[in-house]
Every structure is written in C-alpha cells, then in structure tokens.
Amino acid sequence: MSLIEKHREEITKAIEALHQRTFYAAFPEHPAPAIYGETADADGQAKFKSYLGKKFDELKQTGATGWAGQEESPYLQEPLKISYPISSVDTLISNALAAFQTWRKVSIDDRGGILLESLDSVKNRFFDIAYATMHTTGQGYMMAFQASGPHAADRALEAIAAAYEELNRFPAKAVWDKPMGKFNVQLNKEWRAVPKGISVVIGCSTFPTWNSVTGIYASLMTGNPVIVKPHPGAILPIAIFVAEIQKVLVENNLDPNICQLAVDTFDKMITKELAEHPSVKLIDFTGNSAFGSYLEALPGKTVFTEKTGVNSVILDSVEDIDKTAANLAFSVNLYSGQMCTAPQNFYIPASGIKTPGGTVSFEEFAEKFVGQINSLVDNPKAGPFVLGAVQSKKTAERVAEAAHLPGKVWLKSRVFENPMFKNARVATPVVVEVDSSKKDVFSKELFGPIALLIKTKSTDESVALAQEMARQHGAISCGAYTTDAQVKEKIADEMALAATPVSFNLTGAIYMNQNAAFSDFHVTGGNPSGNASFTNPDYVNRRFTWVGHREPVKK
C-alpha cells in the first residue's frame, strides 16, 4: 500500500475541514498518558536531557564543515551546549539544487504520502519537542507541548491539505476538441504544476515550530526543496522536526537534502546571504518588521511574512465586567505576552464601560484588570506555568523600561519564584495608563507583557484608533467587547477594512491570543503585520506555477 493510501482518510478529513471551518484536530492537544503512552512524558524529558552538551547527530543532510550552537535555557539561564552541523551557504544551495531535480518529479500523491508519514513520525517526538521548546523559548510546559507539537502538526497538515487540493484542482491531461464546421481541431493538452525552486524558511525565537512548519510543508508539498534557517536561540525543536522529515525521505530512497537545517550563530548569521542568493526563490519569515520589509523588497523572490503588529482591545459595554477583566488578564499573562496575537492597546472611553449594573469607570476597570493579573501571578499552581519565562534579555529590559512611559503606572512588573526553576528569567505584566493623544507611545509593538490602558473620548475614537494602528502599523488580532449590535457591526466592519480579525466578547476559556488550524486564518496578509496568511489558497498557489503544453492529436 502506498503512503498516500495509508493516509487517505487523514488527507480527506483535512481537506473537508478546510472547507467546513469547524473544529478539527488530527493530533490530540492534551499530553494524556491514555493518548500518548504511560511513559511518553518521562521518555521525552529524558531524551531532551540526553541532547544537552552533545552533538545533535540525527540529521542526514550532507556537506557539514563543523559544529556549533548557542542556545540558552530561559529557565536555567545556562547554555544548552548542543551543537549542530554547520554548512556554508554554497553547500546548502548546491545540495538543494541537486535535490530539487529529484523532488519536483515526485508525484503529488507520493509527496503527500511522504509528508503525511513524516507527521506521523513527528507525533512520536511531541514530548521531546515540548521540553526542547520550554528550554529554548521559555514557554510553559502545556503551551510548549501543544503549540510545538499537536498544534504545529495540525498547521503542517493544513498546509499539506491546502496544497494537495490546489495541485489537484485542474486535470493533468485533456483532449481539446473545437468544432470548426466541417472538421474539428483536436489538441492533446497537459498541465504541470511547476515548483518555483529553493525555499528558505526563517524561524523565530518564541515559536520555532508553530511559525515555521506551515511554510516548510507548503513548500515541500508543492515540490520545492527547503532550507530551514532557525533562530540561533531556538534550534532544537525544529531540528527534531527536520530530522524526522529527513528520516522518512531516506526510508523512501529520496535525498535527505530535500529538507535541510541551516544552523548559524549570533556572531555569524547567514540569513541575508541565504535570502539574497539568486537560486533562492521562496522565503518564509517570522520576525521583526524591519527585516521582514527588507525581505519583501528583494527582487525575484516570492516572500511570505509575519511581522510585528499593534494588537488592540476595544471596550465599550459588557455583560460581566469581572469575567471580561479575568479573560483579558489571562491573555496578557499568557507566555508573558510573548505571542504575536497578545493584546497591547486597551481602548477605554473616559466615560467608562457600560454594564447591566451601571457604568464601570475607567479607574474601576483598571483596578479590576490589575487585580486579575495579580491574582493569576500570585497563584502558585497556575501563575508560573501560565507566564513561563522570558525568552530574550532584550524583552526583559523592554518590560523594565515600560514603567517609564509617560502616564500613570497602574502596575509595575516584578519577578516571581518559579517552583521548578529558581533561576528562570521572569517578568510579570506592567500596566500603564496613556492618553489617546500620545500616539507616539502606543503606535508601535512593545513586545512582552506590556499593557497600555488608553483613555479615549468615546467608543468611536477607540474604534478609529484601533483601525488606524492596524492600517499603519499592522495588527494580527483584535478583541472587542460590546452588547450593542450596531456598535458590534461597526467594529467588525471597520476592523475588516483594516484586515484585522476581531474576537468579540470572550469571557470563558478561549482567548484572543489563540488561533485554530483549519478554522482561523493566522494573519490576513492585508495590513503591515504580514503579507501572507496561514493557510489560504494564495499561501500555497504562489509556490508553484501552472504551465501547459499542447500538441495536435495524431489521426
């Protein structure tokens, strides 16, 4: 049985889910022993520890000239001392060009089967990847498991399904028969989906697999060889993914260089050299806007970016002010605000927020919001695991500096004790009140647990400012609270014009930070926060070109 037939039900369900947009998850998100095995967690932790201080020797790619690695655990604030094979850009490109000639001629079904099989293989590594993610990004255990394992795999499957459908949208062959009166003109026609060439996927430090696998699998499924360039501070999680892809390629007698890992170090980055190489045709990038805009401007490249944005929350009226404050406090605390979808700007009318019990003033909401943040932070069974650790020293410095922003500081950032990791780099949220006239303060992303409470003249001004920030500076998410149907429609319409999705009236166990594969489009590609979207048809169609050939039918 071919691999595509082995996974036929899986790909069929995934394609159906793309169309239905309802809940679908192929990989269970809970690390329960009943699902993954009684010893899966302990085995994964042991496997992670076995990597420390050693060479990562699972990759099967060729041409390495040395070993290096500079990862540091945000929980331990100590180097992991894991080294990875280092190759020159010329070697990586040469390997990819050779692999391209093989991979592009592998049939759509065979490519799909191989990639689906690799996800099946990765599933057995979810716990290894979880601990690798914790100790490179600072994510809490549950987020590290879910985001880097099942959720990333679902996003990869989504990309495979989207590409598989697009590649099969048109027939490979047809007879074109045109009546011409007394005779017909007949042509044999064929169409080929021609991959564009070498793809480079540039990873980020906070979500090394979730943000990378969509581009990796979209490019591979469409026949392009991939060079994965991880962030130097977060290599191990995606290295495991790449190792599993290479393993399945070799098992199917294919060149492992079809998907290569391109490791570099902070003192000798190769990202620009790779991106600017004339043989590189596709680039996927997650990171800061300055570098993303540079990549978008490179001539002769098809570029997919997710950059920085300014995410807003519009508060007009609510059913339950305490549940609202609790939901938003959790969103700010979650992974210490280090998510691209985390809220930053909270727009609140000076007249207050309407509730069934009367108007809650700006100051009263601020107190409730701060109280909910502190309540979670001070909960020893929840706080340390929700906040995790701060990935970068620069982020920790930014949080400390936020207390000096012009405005009333409602809550100062502080440290807390992580019961499992005494040396963890941690920072609780800082909350600052800012007047709506101070656009220079809130018109840029302040990455990390930083919340700005912006006092506006009215809800209309709140909406206008949220839309302006999204249009001019980008936004990936937006939260809104209103019990007025007309206000809700205005917010939905205005933010849609700014290409920003809105989460309305969230008060339960779902947060504006979260995006679901097969249902939510992650980034829209319609504002400065990024030019691409996980995963719409454009995301895969731009990775290949339809080319048709024709010839008269022989009589």
Write the pLDDT tens digit of every residue in 418-440.
999 999 999 999 999 999 999 99
Say yes or no: do domains 3-275 and 312-504 share a fold: no
pLDDT score, position 341: 95
The CATH class given to the 3-275 domain equals alpha beta
Q: Among candidates 279, 158, 256, which has minimal Cα distance to 540?
A: 158
Q: Are 136 and 234 in contact (CB under 8 A)?
A: yes
The pLDDT of residue 497 is 98
Determine how β-strand 173-179 pairs with β-strand 184-195.
antiparallel
Domain range summary for the chain, segments of one domain joined by +: 3-275, 312-504
State pLDDT tens for residues 136-187: 999 999 999 999 999 999 999 999 999 999 999 999 999 999 999 999 999 9
* CATH code matching the domain that covers 312-504, chosen among 3.30.70.260, 3.40.309.10, 3.30.2320.50, 3.20.20.10: 3.40.309.10
Gap between the Cα atoms of 510 and 507, Å rounded: 7
Task: Please give the share of the chain, as a percent, with pLDDT higher than 90.
Answer: 99
pTM of the predicted model, to two decimals? 0.96
Residue 303 structure tokens = 């570029």
pLDDT, residue 358, reads 96
Q: What pLDDT was estimated at residue 555? A: 78
Mean pLDDT over each residue of the chain, to the nearest integer = 97
Q: Residue 92: which residues within 8 A CB-CB, separation 6 or more?
A: 63, 227, 260, 262, 274
Give tens-digit pLDDT for 284-314: 999 999 999 999 999 999 999 999 999 999 9
| Segment 244-256 mean pLDDT | 98
> What percent of the chain has a predicted confidence (pLDDT) above 70?
100
pLDDT at res. 211: 96
Interval 63-94: pLDDT, tens: 999 999 999 999 999 999 999 999 999 999 99
pLDDT for 63: 96
pLDDT of residue 1: 80
pLDDT exceeds 90 at position 57: yes
Residue 150: its H or E element: helix 150-167
pLDDT of 264 > 90? The answer is yes
Residue spans of beta strands (DSSP E) within 331-442: 345-349, 353-355, 358-360, 409-411, 430-435
d(CA 29, CA 27): 6
pLDDT (tens digit per residue) in 455-508: 999 999 999 999 999 999 999 999 999 999 999 999 999 999 999 999 999 999
